Structure 1
Amino acid sequence: MKTYTLTVFEKTGEKLLEETFTAASDEEAKKIGEQKLKEKHYEEKTHRCTSSSGKLILFHR
């Protein structure tokens, strides 16, 4: 299992969410990240999901 971090920002730069979770693959992490964004209604906010090695998995600006 790899560790991933989902971060959501307001346009002002304020950090709204920073959550760490684990997933078996990058594809699974992308699905989990998208699900968390929908649950919190952050789909249209600036966000990113990165792996512990720094790989960008999910991004929206």
Structure 2
Amino acid sequence: MKTYVLTAFDKSGEKLLDESFEAANNDEAKKIGQEQLAEKGYSEYTHRCVSPDATLVLFHR
């Protein structure tokens, strides 16, 4: 399992969410990230999910 970081920001750049989670691969991490954003109500905010090797797995602006 790899550790991924999920971050969400508001329009002013303030960090609203900064959480780590584990996933087996990038596809699973993308799915988990999208689910967490939806649960917390941050799907429409600027967000990103980054893998341990700095690959951008999920991004929305």
Q: What's the TM-score bracket when you normalise by the shorter of the two chains? A: over 0.9
Alignment-mate amino acid for residue 7 of structure 1: T
Aligned pairs for 1:1-61 within 5 A: 1-61=1-61
Q: Which runs of 5+ in 2 are unaligned?
A: none
Query: What TM-score do the two structures reach when normalised by structure 1?
Result: 0.98
Cα distance, 1:52 vs structure 2 = 1.0
Whole-Å separation in 1 of the counterparts to 2:15 and 2:41: 15
Q: Which runs of 5+ in 1 are unaligned?
A: none
Q: Cα RMSD between the aligned structures?
A: 0.4
Whole-Å separation in 1 of the counterparts to 2:52 and 2:42: 22
Whole-Å separation in 1 of the counterparts to 2:11 and 2:60: 12
Query: What TM-score do the two structures reach when normalised by structure 2?
Result: 0.98
Identity of aligned residues (%): 62
SS across alignment from 1:43: coil
Cα distance, 1:23 vs structure 2 = 0.2
